[in-house]
Structures are given as structure tokens and as C-alpha cells.
């Protein structure tokens, strides 16, 4: 029971000359060379980019791990729908077992997939976005053409798209974690960076997430590289909305957690961020279990966590909404199981954030 394997979220914060880290550094160098060759291929036109018949907004990051892309996609796709646009979310469907070239998770009304087929994030997107189709493809272009032809979609939100250079986009928005935007500064696997920091020059806008959770209340921008100087910069936070008890079909406001004794667990890119969120809500954490990102929960793991609740007399067993998508398939029916629902909220110049998108739409 417990976290298995290497805790990459911790490795990616450390600088060390121990043999393990030096070996990882060699792999990082190989990763860097491969990435540079791929980028050069697209810059020279050797590798072709495709264009969808509509506006394409990419939400991505430059690091592995959680920067809050899924809540950001939910917010922007929902906004586009309210503006009278016809949005669709295009995702790779990481961890999904689907084998087709294009896979429809939702038509905006009915979800036609399981978490095992689609992956946890697309399922969460489909549940959170009534009226917005969610379509998967390893190459996003076929997914976008499918959504255009079948649903008339004209506004495409590209989930985790910064490194997906095969598709032209109108806005490349990069999310950075305000608490630790670049980890230890190394490329994968030694560090969390998917690309060198200079490649942030491709971004059209930067959004510092979890900005409300830093000690100063807003992130210090001195760590940002010069290549983003002058680009639109926004601050955002993940605001707890409610605690949902799905097996009891009950909901409580987020301040329900104040003073409550909880057993908590998370299998996301940055599990400790969830722990900090619970603590800021005033929860008393009796036990916290970390799992790998996208961890496939088994029934026995949930049984043992529920047993911990019983043994300690905790008020509830709580996880993230993304984790609930995966563990709901285990059949665990404990009434104490809950998840925390959060929303992505722009904290600075909210009007300017959406005006930036509107102006780019008008320009296109």
C-alpha cells in the first residue's frame, strides 16, 4: 500500500550530484537533442503543420506535472460556449485505452466512453462541460476535423497542446505553477522541463497558476526568462468550490472541511498541492497518501484507505475530482468517500484576459 516507484514530483525539485541524478542528467541531454531536432523540423517546414477550420486556443505547459490545465480548459471552453461560439475540446487522452484514430468521449450531451477508454482528464472534461464535445486523437487534427464536421465546432480548445506543434494554433497559452514554475531547472527526466526555457518564446501568453497560494499572494516574476518579456501575463488560482460525496449523492460547501479530520490521497502530477489546498481549507489531515500521476486505483487500495478512516475516526476520505474519475470504476461504495471540486479563476485583470482572447478571435 502507498506510493510506489520514484516520486518524480520530488526528484524534479532537487539539485544533486548523487549518481542517480547524474545518470538522469545524461538522459536529459539525449532528450534535449531529440527535442531540438523535432522543433527544427517544424521551423524549416520539413515537418508539416495542419490548420483547422476555426479558432484554435492551446492550453499547455513547459513542465511535466500539474499546473492546472484541466480546470483552465473547463473555464475557457465554458466561456466560449456562453459567448455563442461552438467549442470542442481536443485531447490526446493520456492513459486512455482507445485504439481508434479518433475517439468521441462526449457529443456535449451524452458521454459515450469510460475512464479506462478515454483517460481520466477527458472524462472529467466531458462531465464538467455539458454542451461541449470532447474528442480524442493522438494527432489532434483528425479530432478537430471530426468535431467540425459532426458538431459544427468553430472554437477548438487544445488540451495540453504546447508541445503538439503539428497543429497550427491562434493562441498558445502556457500555464506555469507560481510556487515552482521550473522545478530544479533541468529537462526530463532529471528535471520537470519538457523543453528549454528559451522555447517559451513560442507562447502568446503566460498564466501563472496557483498564484493565490504563494506566500506573497501573487507570484514573483523575476524567475521568468527574458523571452516572455512583453507578452500578456495573467495570474490565476484554483478555488475550492465544494466537497462532493458521490456515493451519498450529497454536496457540502468547501468550508465544510474546516476542523474536519480527514484521510486524503491523490494521484496527480503534484500531489502535495492537493494536501496544501486541504490544509488551507482548515482540514486536519490524519493521513495523506501520494500515488503516481494517473495511478490506476485498485479496489484493495480504496478498501485500505477506507479502513484507515474507520480506525482513526476520521470524518471523511477525500481525494481530487480527477482521481475520483478513475477510482469510481473500482466499485468502492463507501459513504465516506468524497472529492474536492475546484474552479480555475483569473485573479488579475480578468476582463483583460477575455478581451485578449476576443481580440485574437476578431483578428482571425
CATH number of residue 323's parent domain: 3.40.50
- In this structure, are residues 159 and 70 in contact, taking their beta carbons and an 8 Å threshold? yes
* Whether residues 234 and 275 fall in one domain: no
Compute φ and ψ for 28, nearest 5 degrees: -60, -35
Kindly tell me the sign of the dihedral angle through the C-alpha atoms of 171, 175, 181, 185: negative
* Whether residues 139 and 250 fall in one domain: no
* Whether residues 315 and 329 fall in one domain: yes
* Whether residues 265 and 283 fall in one domain: yes
* Whether residues 173 and 61 fall in one domain: yes
Overall size of the chain counted in residues: 364
* Whether residues 225 and 278 fall in one domain: no
- How far out from the chain centre does Cα 264 lie? 20
| pLDDT for residue 364 | 83
- In this structure, are residues 340 and 243 in contact, taking their beta carbons and an 8 Å threshold? yes
* Whether residues 336 and 198 fall in one domain: no
* Whether residues 194 and 109 fall in one domain: yes
Please report how many Cα atoms fall inside a 13 Å half-sphere around the Cα of residue 202, on the Cβ side.
Answer: 22
305 within a domain of the structure (yes/no) = yes
* Whether residues 223 and 137 fall in one domain: yes
pLDDT per residue, tens digit, the chain (364 aa), is 343 456 777 788 888 888 888 899 999 999 999 999 999 999 999 999 999 999 999 999 999 977 899 999 999 999 999 999 999 999 999 989 999 999 999 999 999 999 999 999 999 999 999 999 999 999 999 999 999 999 999 999 999 999 999 999 999 999 999 988 999 999 999 999 999 999 999 999 999 999 877 654 455 567 789 999 999 999 999 999 999 999 999 999 999 999 999 999 999 988 989 999 999 999 999 999 999 888 999 999 999 999 999 999 999 999 999 999 999 888 889 999 999 999 999 998 999 999 999 999 999 8
Which residues have a Cβ under 8 Å from the Cβ of 333 and sit 6 or more positions away? 247
Which residue matches cell numbers 521550473?
182
* Whether residues 261 and 359 fall in one domain: no
Compute φ and ψ for 13, nearest 5 degrees: -100, -10
| pLDDT for residue 3 | 39
Residue ranges making up the domain that contains 204 = 55-238+345-363
* Whether residues 195 and 250 fall in one domain: no
Cα–Cα distance for residue pair 218/350, rounded to 1 Å: 15
Amino acid at each position: 500500500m502507498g506510493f510506489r516507484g520514484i516520486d518524480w514530483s520530488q526528484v524534479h525539485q532537487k539539485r544533486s550530484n548523487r549518481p542517480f541524478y547524474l545518470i538522469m542528467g545524461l538522459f536529459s541531454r539525449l532528450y534535449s537533442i531529440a527535442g531540438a531536432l523535432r522543433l527544427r523540423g517544424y521551423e524549416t517546414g520539413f515537418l508539416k503543420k495542419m490548420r483547422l477550420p476555426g479558432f484554435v486556443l492551446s492550453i499547455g505547459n513547459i513542465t511535466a506535472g500539474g499546473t492546472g490545465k484541466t480546470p483552465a480548459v473547463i473555464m475557457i471552453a465554458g466561456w466560449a460556449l456562453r459567448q455563442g461560439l461552438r467549442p470542442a475540446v481536443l485531447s490526446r487522452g493520456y492513459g486512455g485505452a482507445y485504439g481508434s484514430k479518433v475517439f468521441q468521449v462526449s457529443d456535449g450531451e451524452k458521454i459515450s466512453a469510460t475512464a479506462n477508454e478515454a483517460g481520466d482528464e477527458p472524462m472529467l472534461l466531458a462531465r464538467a462541460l455539458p454542451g461541449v464535445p470532447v474528442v480524442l486523437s493522438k494527432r489532434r487534427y483528425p479530432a478537430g476535423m471530426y468535431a467540425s464536421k459532426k458538431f459544427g465546432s468553430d472554437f477548438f480548445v487544445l488540451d495540453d497542446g504546447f508541445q503538439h506543434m503539428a497543429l497550427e494554433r491562434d493562441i498558445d497559452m502556457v500555464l506555469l505553477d507560481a510556487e515552482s514554475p521550473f522545478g530544479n531547472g533541468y529537462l526530463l527526466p532529471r528535471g520537470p522541463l519538457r523543453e528549454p526555457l528559451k522555447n517559451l518564446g513560442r507562447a502568446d501568453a503566460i498564466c501563472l497558476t496557483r498564484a493565490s497560494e504563494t506566500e506573497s499572494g501573487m507570484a514573483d516574476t523575476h524567475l521568468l526568462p527574458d523571452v516572455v518579456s512583453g507578452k500578456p501575463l495573467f495570474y490565476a488560482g484554483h478555488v475550492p468550490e465544494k466537497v462532493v460525496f458521490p456515493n451519498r449523492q450529497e454536496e457540502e460547501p468547501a468550508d465544510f472541511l474546516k476542523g474536519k479530520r480527514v484521510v486524503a490521497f491523490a494521484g496527480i502530477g503534484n500531489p502535495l498541492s492537493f494536501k496544501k489546498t486541504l490544509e488551507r481549507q482548515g482540514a486536519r489531515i490524519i493521513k495523506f497518501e501520494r500515488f503516481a500521476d494517473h495511478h490506476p486505483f485498485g479496489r484493495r487500495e480504496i478498501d485500505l484507505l477506507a479502513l484507515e478512516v474507520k480506525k482513526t475516526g476520521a470524518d471523511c476520505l477525500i481525494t481530487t475530482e480527477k482521481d475520483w474519475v478513475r477510482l469510481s470504476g473500482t466499485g468502492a461504495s463507501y459513504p465516506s468517500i468524497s472529492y474536492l471540486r475546484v474552479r480555475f479563476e483569473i485573479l488579475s485583470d480578468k476582463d483583460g484576459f477575455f478581451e485578449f482572447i476576443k481580440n485574437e478571435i476578431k483578428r482571425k
